[in-house]
Amino acid sequence: MKKLVLVSLLGAILTGCGGGGGSDDKSDNNSNHRPNAAQGTIERVSGNVITVNGHQYDVASVNYLAGDENVALSTTQLSPGMLVALSPNPTRAVGQHVQLEPTIAGIITITNKDSGQFTVNGVALTFPKLSALVDQGHIRGGDWVMVSSLPTATDGYKVLSVVKFENEILKDHFEIEGTISNLDKTNLRFNLGAALTVIYTQNSVEGGELANGLWVEVEGKAIGNTINATEVEIETYDDIDNDTEIEGLLTWVANDKSAFELNYRGRFNVTAQTRFEDGNKNHLVQGTMIEVTTGTNNTALEIEFDNDNDDSNSWNGNDIDIEGTVNSIDETNMSFTIGSRNIDTIYVNRFTEFDDGLTFRSLTQQEVEVEASIVNGQYIASEIERLD
């Protein structure tokens, strides 16, 4: 699905136009400015006003892209916990356009209501609030739902909301987002999450070359634990405009805190001019929730820590430094091996940074230090430099 190109963020996960009628919830002087665009989680809904990233926005229109269908929806269908992207409405002077950005969408099967366990087209999930939603009649087995979630340190999803939709266009649509692992370019398949196998064609891929560790959105038909993909789109923050605010999870942080990755989708740089709220540079730790406002070339202008949703403890040990001599590289799988007795295979992708004049093709027999993360059981290199 083609994503909304945000104008003027993880700017972020939601945004609003300064000309909108909504007021600003944030009291800190540095937070009074509302960014031009935003991505994030809906915190509150009151009539046509929603709160995202601590800012209130008047909503002028709502849509969801289901394949090639641009489905118009009502503001009454917005709910706290939904992931959205906001941008100035192109047809109205006042109010924001809201695009829904669920992680998973499809038919729900409730496997254990009391424990909050359910599946969406075979994807196993848990949501503690599900029991109340079922008891109140908001969700039943067989409903078509949107699931908003955050990535976890393992290969699962931290569910934020489950919302039912009744729409003839949506009833047969299925999509899921997640990180690629076990990519097999010969047989055109990869794993997504803990148990899903995605079968794709070269023509179904959008946004660049597939690689392990990249976050993708997959649309298609699910049969058991296999998805026959009609579209695989790489999700990145490469084209984020200045003054966008993004909410998200730190999925990698450089050892010197000079850069970080958000939601597995892109890298942001920290400079001497970066402002911090509710924390400082030392609080940039993998698994921490933040809101980042972006400047030129994905520079972080401002970082605000969400201390109420800190999940960093569950990410302990997920960042790893590996040192040694590179034995060989594999250009097909974009990986290399390092070590002698204990040989590690490390994968690179579009977000891997090579320092000290290194390139992927020049790695063989080089002594290197690799900053890597464990993603779905595989080492994904974020930064590679010569070993001092």
Q: What's the CATH number where 366 sits?
A: 2.40.50.320
Which of 217, 234, 251 is the endpoint of a domain?
234
How many independent structural domains does the chain possess? Answer: 4
Q: Is residue 190 part of a domain?
A: yes
Q: Does position 20 have pLDDT exceeding 50, yes or no?
A: no
Rounded to whole angstroms, the Cα distance separating 233 from 212 reads: 14
Question: Which of 68-72, 307-311, 329-333, 376-380 has the weakest average pLDDT?
Answer: 307-311
Residues 117 and 42 in one domain: no
For 130-196, the three-class secondary structure string (H helix, E strand, C coil) is: HHHHHHCCCCCCCCEEEEEEEECCCCCEEEEEEEECCCCCCCCCCEEEEEEEEEECCCCEEEECCCE
Q: Is residue 169 part of a domain?
A: no
Unique residue bearing structure tokens 């970066």: 274
Q: Is residue 288 part of a domain?
A: yes
> What average pLDDT is seen over the chain?
89
Q: Is residue 296 part of a domain?
A: yes
Residues 137 and 48 in one domain: no
- Burial class of residue 263 in the structure, from the number of CB atoms within 10 Å of its CB (0-12 exposed, 13-18 middle, 19+ buried): buried
Q: Is residue 10 part of a domain?
A: yes
Q: Is residue 170 part of a domain?
A: no
Rounded to whole angstroms, the Cα distance separating 336 from 67 reads: 36
Instruction: Find the domain containing 63 and state its range.
Output: 1-98+236-316
Of 91 and 165, more confident:
165
Residues 215 and 265 in one domain: no
* CATH number reported for the structural domain that contains residue 144 in this entry: 2.40.50
Instruction: Identify the pLDDT of residue 328.
Output: 97
Instruction: Identify the pLDDT of residue 7.
Output: 33
Which of 188, 210, 234 is the endpoint of a domain?
234
Mean pLDDT of all residues in 262-278: 96
Which pLDDT band, with edges at 50, 70 and 90, does 309 fall under? Answer: low
- Burial class of residue 26 in the structure, from the number of CB atoms within 10 Å of its CB (0-12 exposed, 13-18 middle, 19+ buried): middle
Instruction: Identify the pLDDT of residue 23.
Output: 39
Q: What are phi and psi of 312, to 5 degrees?
A: -65, -30
Residues 4 and 91 in one domain: yes
Instruction: Identify the pLDDT of residue 32.
Output: 63
Mean pLDDT of all residues in 218-223: 92
Residues 8 and 87 in one domain: yes
Q: Which of 330, 313, 329 is nearest to 366 (CA)?
A: 329
Residues 266 and 198 in one domain: no
Instruction: Identify the pLDDT of residue 3.
Output: 41
Q: Which of 32, 28, 35 is nearest to 13 (CA)?
A: 35
Mean pLDDT of all residues in 191-210: 93
Instruction: Identify the pLDDT of residue 316.
Output: 85
Q: Is residue 275 part of a domain?
A: yes
Residues 79 and 20 in one domain: yes
Q: Which of 274, 135, 133 is nearest to 147 (CA)?
A: 133
Mean pLDDT of all residues in 257-269: 96
Residues 15 and 91 in one domain: yes
Which of 121, 137, 164 is the endpoint of a domain?
164
Residues 189 and 146 in one domain: no
